[in-house]
Structure formats: structure tokens, C-alpha cells
Amino acid sequence: MDVVVHRDIRYAHAARFCPPEPCAAGERGQVAGIAPQNPSRLETVMGRPEVRPMSEDCLGLTITAPARPSPAGHPVLVWLHGGAYVTGSGSWSCYDASRLVAETGIVVVAVSHRLGVLGYMRAPGISQGNLGLRDQIAALEWVRENIAEFGGDPQVVTVAGQSAGAHAVVAMLSIPATRGLFRRVILHSAPLGLAYQAVADAERVGEVVLRHLAVPIGQASVEEILRAQGAAASELAASGVPFAPPFLPIAGVDPWPSEGAAEPWDGVGDLDVMLGNTTDEFAAFLGRRTGPEFIDGFFDSATTRFADKLAVAGARVFRFRVGELDPGAPLGACHCIDLPLLFGDEAAWRNAPMLSPPGAAAAIQLGTSMRADWAAFARSGVPESERWSVHRPGQAAFAQLP
């Protein structure tokens, strides 16, 4: 199937530390670059991404769609990238959805949004925080209003995310304003053992950032802000502050209705949900020496509790687990190992250390059935292959991938 890719499509405008403002009706501008960011600590796992211009004008979408429209519209999958809320871009080639779309006929929308200080810092009188989360919601609102022009069905939208992107989707399930923006949810490696930030903790982070700036932050250059962000992160890590990463969605700050634990809104029972983890999540950060108890507390048992909660609320839930792609893989089934199964071409993943072996081409081939399952779920709420079963509270059944 032939596909067409629309790059850097603007979905909103936003001045520094201001909420996103929707585009005017019919506006089809392009953004100037990706969100300002420091290098990712996952470059030693995923490989170094291509160099792209950075700009605060970064609220853009990459839309990949079948070249031939469908009278009813194609199902839509909206992708929120990972990166600990400080790195990443939906425009990176590792999230290229051309193969996924060509094989399955869905529309994929990869979202870019504000990160780090510019997206999540809270400092009274300067920034309320949660701007990156508000950007993501603005992108979903844009999809609802505009995706039909790109061949998508606005009534059949799945929101999916990996790592911090999945963590943000879980936050959205506590925000009533997101109701009606999507029918289905896919969570890859959501760090459900990581609490969202309290207002007081977020303000402390903001104080540390501001202390590392020599000029008022409204006058600071992007480069100065990134240096302060890096220095603040190092200081906070060295001080043993019990919340990390330092920039997170903040509970109780607009659009979040109240401070406290994330609780799904009442309508969550109408959703279809797929969620899962890799078997060696922390090998990407700490090597393969992390014990199963640590991984279980941060990912596995937390995922089970959340799956149970959704199922009790009435949602149709499916669980998956991604295992090793090759017995010789240096990091096993580490955090991010699922990404080349779903996205990207061989060139995008050729230099990823986590794939040495089996190699990018083999990993992409191993992902064929996964891509079919994800597309079937986006269409109907049920994965395609027979390895899946509906999750029941108290059960530990999951589909083993690839």
C-alpha cells in the first residue's frame, strides 16, 4: 500500500510558558523544529537520533496515511513518544510509521510537544506547569477536528504512548476534558510505579532551575535554559530528592482536576486498553544487574494493579510482554526494545546498540505480527492473533511478543 507523509504540521501556537492556543480554522502552517532538549541518556541503547533544528515553535505533528482514502475513513493511532519528559520528538525517524501504515492501512499521527523546563517547570508568577501535557491534549483536539482531511476517522482514535508517553496517557485518564478524544489506549512500558508530581515538589524543582540562571528566565536563551535544566537535574539527583525525573505532570495543576493519585474518570469503562512491558526494562539504564523485585515494583506489579482497576471499571483490557529478540542481545528485552517492532525503517535502527544482535532488519521482520495486532486493535478494540485473551482481575495472562 502506498503512503503519504505530512511532516511538521502545526496543531497549536504557544508563547514561552503560555498554554497552547488552537490554530485558526483551515490553518496549515509548519513548525520550526523539535522541542529544545539536551542529549538523551538512551542514546547508548537506541542510538543517536538524527540532528534536527530545535525551536520553541515545536507543536507539530507527523501524519502518515494511506495514499488512497477510504470512504469511511481509516482508524487513527496517535503516538506520544517517550524520553522522561525531557527528550524526544514525534518527527524522529525511529518513529517513522511508513511500514506500519503500508502494511495495515491505519493513519498514524506522531506528536511533538514541549519538554523539560519549557514544558513542565512550575514557578509561581512564571509558569504553572503541565504545559507539555496540555500540548498533548491540544494535539488530540486537533486530530478530532482535522484528521478527516488526511483520511482518518475522528471517531476511531487510539492514543498510544511509550514510557513517558504512556505515563502521560495514564494522566489523561484522570482528566475529564479528554473524554471523547479517543476510544482506545495502548500503553508501552508505562512506569506506573512512578508517582506524578506534587505541587510543592514541582515548585522546589523550579526554584533549583531558576537558581542556575544568570538572567530572568523570560530573557534567557534556549541554550541558557537547557544548561540550567541540566545543572538542576544533576543537583537534584545528587541530593537524593525522592522524585525523578525532575519534570513530570503535576497533579492538581490545570488541566488536572485535583492533587493526589491518578484515578481514571468515570467513563473509562467504555475504553479498550492494551498495556504491557518488556522483560528487562531497567537494563537500558542500569545494565542487566537489576533484580526482578525492582523491575516488578516499578513496572510489572504496578501494571497488573492498573489493569485490574481498568477491568473492574468495565474496560476491555489486554496485556502483553515483550521478550528477547535474540539470545545474544546485550541488553536483553530492555526498555525501548519494542519500538523497532512497531516503527522505523532499517536505517533508523541500524546503529541501535540494543539490536546488536539481532540487527535492525531482523527486528523489523519480527514485528510483522505485532504491527498487525496493533492495527486490528485500533480498528476494533481486539488484537488480531489468537495469543491474546481479555484480562481478568487477579489473572496474570498476557500475550508474549514478538
Express each pLDDT in 9-22 by its tens digit.
Answer: 999 999 999 999 99
Residue 247 falls inside a structural domain: no
Active-site residue among 188, 281, 384, 391?
281
Q: Which residues in 129-147 are b (16+ Cβ under 10 Å) and which e?
A: bbbbbbbbbbbbbbbbebb
Annotated catalytic, 74?
A: no
Residue 335 annotated as catalytic: yes
Asked if pLDDT for residue 313 goes beyond 90, the answer is: yes
pTM (two decimals): 0.96
Residue 214 lies in a domain: no
In a domain, 280, yes or no: yes
Measured CA distances, 350 to 39, 94, 170, 207, 366 (Å):
19, 10, 32, 41, 15
394 lies in some domain: yes
Query: In the structure, what pLDDT confidence band is assigned to residue 267 with cuts at 50, 70 and 90?
Result: confident
Report the mean per-residue pLDDT for the chain.
93
Q: Is 390 domain-assigned?
A: yes
Question: Mind listing the pLDDT tens digit for each residue in 145-156?
Answer: 999 999 999 999
Considering 167, 335, 384, 391, which one is annotated as catalytic? Answer: 335
Confidence of residue 344 (pLDDT cuts 50, 70, 90): confident
Average pLDDT over residues 248-262: 82
Give residues with Cβ within 8 angstroms of 290, minimum separation 6. Answer: 280, 282, 283
Q: Find the catalytic residue in 91, 112, 163, 174.
A: 163
- Determine the pLDDT at residue 22: 97
Is residue 243 situated within a structural domain? no
239 is catalytic: no
**Would residue 215 count as lying in a domain?**
no
Does 102 reside within a domain? yes
Residue 265: give the domain boundaries.
3-198+254-401
Q: CA 158, CA 174: separation in Å to the nearest integer?
A: 17
Domain CATH for 296: 3.40.50.1820
Q: How many domains does the chain have?
A: 1
pLDDT confidence band for 287 (50 / 70 / 90): low
